[in-house]
Amino acid sequence: MRIAVVGATGLVGQEMLKVLEERQVEFDDLYLVASPKSVGQKIIFKSKEYTIKSMEEAVELAPDIAIFSAGGGTSLEWAPKFAAKGTVVIDNSSAWRMDPTKKLVVPEINGHVLTSEDLIIANPNCSTIQMVMALAPLHRQYKIKRIVVSTYQSVTGTGKDAVQQMMEERQGITNGMKVYPHRIDMNALPHIDSFLDNGYTKEEMKMVNETRKILEDQSIGVTSTTVRIPAIGGHSEAVNVEFHKEFDLKEVRELLENTPGVVVQDDVKNNVYPMPINSKGRDEVFVGRLRRDESQPKTLNMWIVSDNLRKGAATNAVQIAEFLMEKSLVS
């Protein structure tokens, strides 16, 4: 098995290497690929030195799997070139997610849709992944009618430069890195990605459309407000979900506790609930603050937290690769 990591020097790319090592993914060859400015640099992985390769080199090497985290434009240009060589591309950008010919996959939920014919597979948006991980078992049991979600997202979701901006602002540096249109430290920006004509941001519409695609139900109503906050460690979400069927709160808890990859942290009397500071470096999706919405029937409130670089990006991508290998969908 020959695996390429495209975008290996970025935040998510570095996390992918950690996940590959932690999960002891077996491979014969590993190719680390990045932008032209990084080509030739050395990276140590599992006590072995690897030289960063160019896109052109990597395509010609025709790896079995290429895990991309290099941005949408790069993916649109290069993923088809890899696929033409028979490489299965797992792409972390938004480029292919809503393409009707491409699968959008969270392995625990809809891995069953994958076939050996899928050469470009989309990794969902980080905030969508953690939400559907918690909602999928509830949708199967009670059928979701409508979701209202507000997110509170880590600066790591924007990348290294955003983390630098926050840290410089924290140090009182006024002429440093500028990624966001406003100060981020000690602030909250209701603005993730660009604004669309309908008043929503691209990030908000990703949550709407991707949720329906992953859960395979276009009837679900979804409305979203996404907010960037000065946190590192994970994204947090306040989710209000209305079901078609009545639910039992005890059963909801049991369903979530029995869902692989989900951890219930809900002991408010002892101040136990999910927080991004505790999710950092973890692969699980943490759920708490489970309670009925007392303003209308069949409606649940919940709080969902997960490390956006892990399950929200790197871990899910590696899990897709593992699924493909386990099911012999890749040679």
* Sheet strand arrangement including 285-292: 221-228, 144-153, 235-243, 299-306, 285-292, 262-264
**Token pair 């290294």 is at which residue?**
160
Please answer whether residues 261 and 218 qualify as being in contact, where contact means their C-beta atoms are separated by less than 8 angstroms: no
Please answer whether residues 178 and 162 qualify as being in contact, where contact means their C-beta atoms are separated by less than 8 angstroms: no
For residue 126 the two structure tokens come to 């980080």
Residues 6+ apart with CB under 8 A from 251: 141
Sign of the four-CA dihedral 178, 182, 186, 187: negative
Catalytic positions: 126, 235
Alpha helical stretches, state H, 143-217: 160-170, 202-215
Residue (of 269, 263, 308, 251) closest to 288 by Cα position: 263
Residues 6+ apart with CB under 8 A from 69: 5, 6, 7, 10, 12, 13, 16, 92, 93, 313, 314, 317
